[in-house]
Amino acid sequence: MACGLLNLCVYETNKRFRIKSVELGTLKWTLNGAVLLFICFMMLWNKEYQEHDLVTSSVTTKVKGVALASIPEMGLVVWDVVDHSGLAQGKNSFFVATNVIVTKNQKQGKCPEVAPWGLCKTDKDCQKGFSDQQSHGVQTGPCVKFDVLKKTCEVSAWCPVENRKSPPRPALLASAENFTVLVKNNIRFPAFNYIRRNILPEMTDKDLKGCLYNRYTNPFCPVFRLGDIVHEAKERFSDMAVEGGVIGIQIDWNCDLNRFFHSCLPKYSFRRLDEKESNRTLYPGLNFRFARYSTINGVEHRTLFKVYGIRFDVMVFGKAGKFSIIQLIIYIGSTLSYYALTTVFIDWLIGTNCYSRKAKHNYSEKQCESVQDQKYLLCVSFVDEEQLRVVKMSRNKRLQETKPLSQHQWKVRALLGVLQSDGLVTDMPLLEISSSRCPDWCQCGCCHSSASFLEQLCCRKSKGRCITTSSLFPALVLTRSILEIALLYVAPLAEQHKDDQLRQQAYAQYIKWRFGDFTPMDAVPVIPSCCVWRIREQYPSPDGKYSGIIFAGATEWPVGVTRSLHIKK
């Protein structure tokens, strides 16, 4: 538990390299400067240093205007605000009538249905009590004459039934273009407890009654002429008045609530919300019906009005901002990662030979260090093979029998061939070792038994002479004078070397002889059992105990050998 807690108390950092180059240094600071300018520009443009809150609002409207209109079946009629505005159309909206179809003197009774609904030839085509969504009443059964050419089913309804289908052109109430509307908008930003209205504090009653909105000369006046609203939405009032439609009045509040830069004024914009082309929709425009009732001689009558008009929807959007040190810190922290683009670009520039081939080679060597998993890769050298074997460590299979992952040519092997050709290493008959001493995996007859699979390794792959019987083995590995000189090379003032030091140096001498300075794939070299025990016989441990194979760090390498990991015996 203690070791686990201590492992948490460490700090790791990335390895960095300094490339001394005027071109790369200039490019780095240029890119960093460009990134800084971009960050500052976006911070000021989007006001990222502010805390923001969305608007909550309420809207009320008041329409004013009166017109004299000539309506068929009614003659000249004065239409005022009550007639024009009609029924409420919903929250934050108002309606103004622009066209009308009037059906006078309707009363409850029986009359022919309007063609093309309820067409018939005989009474059998009519069903008593039948009605549907298109019917103007309930069928009574008879088939009666509608006009000179057609017959329709008789219905019980308000008679006469409304007959006209298309609205008049031009619109009968087009004079509503000159009506005005006062839009009152109250807003609040809850996070800042800030309240405001579109009737600005400096406006007086006289100003409000005399002003009229104009995008350029009077952009803050809350009184609008309906014709100007439709024109700002890029529509013609006379065309839109025929079938009606929907216009959006958008109020934008973009407020800066900082003390020195305070600004909170409404901005108006207008656009049409419905589909205006009749040939692109089945039911263009906007219309509804209402009736005015009267009683004549005890009989109830009504006048039916089918009204076409324009609905104006007032939509309020807004956001307020105020300086916040927390938001500024968050923004700066989130944008620091942009500086990594400089590193990515320069690394790409060097890595693609766009800068310099030599620089790419040197930088790649310094930046990328290949490290293999030394815990699992071992290197084996057999005296009867010309290649080094890289094998994967196994805990349930002898190292002697483990199949290689790869084989690599050892260039220094040419030296061994010369020595053998000169007669220094010659074939000798196999040494006879008793079966009780020699394990079954041994091929040279000089290995010792071991319970560890990692130590069950012979110097040969096939039966033959042991490498310890070679004249080079005692000369390079066992000679005391050579081992002491190697030890003195590291510690020149050492006066006497113990057998433990000589034994460790003998291991190192064997590794340099059989494996060289570097092993393939940085695998850990393993010394055969016969060689280990020959070295131990020459330089024994005082207590007769040996540690066997252990993995250790580079600081525990024997003298003259440099590896990231090694095997110590």
In sequence order, which residues have a C-beta less than 8 Å from that of residue 133 and are 6 or more positions away?
A: none
232 and 190 co-located in one domain? yes
What is the total residue count of the chain? 569
Residue spans of beta strands (DSSP E) within 169-236: 180-189, 194-197, 223-225
Q: How confident is the model over 246-255, as a mean pLDDT?
A: 95
Higher pLDDT, 376 or 532: 532
30 and 79 co-located in one domain? no
Q: Residue 123: inside a domain, yes or no?
A: no
258 and 294 co-located in one domain? yes
> Which of these ranges, 89-93, 119-123, 431-435, has the smallest mean pLDDT?
431-435
The owner of tokens 């929250």 is 91
Q: Residue 555: inside a domain, yes or no?
A: no
Q: Residue 9: inside a domain, yes or no?
A: no
Which of 312, 406, 332 is closest to 94 using CA atoms? 312
224 and 282 co-located in one domain? yes
pLDDT, tens digit, 9 for 90 and up, residues 270-300? 999 988 765 566 778 888 888 889 988 888 9
Cβ atoms 86, 309 nearer than 8 A: yes
Q: Residue 144: inside a domain, yes or no?
A: no
In which element (H, E) is residue 68 found?
strand 67-71
Q: Residue 8: inside a domain, yes or no?
A: no
Report the pLDDT value the prediction gives residue 350, as an integer from 0 to 100: 78
Q: How far is C-alpha 438 from the chain's CA centre?
A: 66
User: Domain tally for the chain?
Assistant: 3
Q: How confident is the model over 153-160, as a mean pLDDT?
A: 92
296 and 190 co-located in one domain? yes
176 and 238 co-located in one domain? yes
453 and 511 co-located in one domain? yes
564, pLDDT greater than 90:
no
Q: For residue 231, what are its two tokens?
A: 């024109």
Report the pLDDT value the prediction gives residue 372, as an integer from 0 to 100: 55
401 and 523 co-located in one domain? yes
Q: How confident is the model over 166-173, as a mean pLDDT?
A: 88
Cβ atoms 565, 554 nearer than 8 A: yes
Which of 132, 102, 126 is closest to 112 using CA atoms? 126
Report the pLDDT value the prediction gives residue 269, as an integer from 0 to 100: 95
264 and 313 co-located in one domain? yes
Cβ atoms 518, 524 nearer than 8 A: no
In sequence order, which residues have a C-beta less than 8 Å from that of residue 406 and are 6 or more positions away?
A: 389, 390, 520, 521
pLDDT, tens digit, 9 for 90 and up, residues 186-210? 999 999 999 999 999 888 888 888 8
Partners of 309 in beta bridges: 97
Q: Which domain holds residue 467?
A: 377-417+434-538
361, pLDDT greater than 80:
no
pLDDT, tens digit, 9 for 90 and up, residues 241-250? 999 999 999 9
Q: How confident is the model over 6-13, as a mean pLDDT?
A: 73
Report the pLDDT value the prediction gives residue 519, as an integer from 0 to 100: 84
pLDDT, tens digit, 9 for 90 and up, residues 323-333? 989 989 999 88
Report the pLDDT value the prediction gives residue 426, as an integer from 0 to 100: 39
308 and 393 co-located in one domain? no
Q: For residue 126, what are its two tokens?
A: 């009519």
Report the pLDDT value the prediction gives residue 107, as an integer from 0 to 100: 92
CA–CA gap between residue 164 and residue 22 (Å, rounded): 87
Cβ atoms 157, 63 nearer than 8 A: no
Cβ atoms 321, 334 nearer than 8 A: no
276 and 349 co-located in one domain? no
Virtual torsion, Cα 439, 443, 444, 449, nearest 10 deg: -20
Q: Residue 195: inside a domain, yes or no?
A: yes
Which of 528, 267, 556, 485 is closest to 379 using CA atoms? 528
* CATH number assigned to the domain comprising residue 227: 2.60.490.10
Show the DSSP H helices in 478-528 as ranges.
480-490, 499-515
Do β-strands 93-112 and 67-71 pair in parallel, antiparallel, or remain unpaired?
unpaired
Q: Residue 544: inside a domain, yes or no?
A: no
174 and 307 co-located in one domain? yes
Q: Residue 503: inside a domain, yes or no?
A: yes
DSSP structure string for 251-286:
EEEEEE--STT-B--EEEEEEE-S---GGG-SS-S-
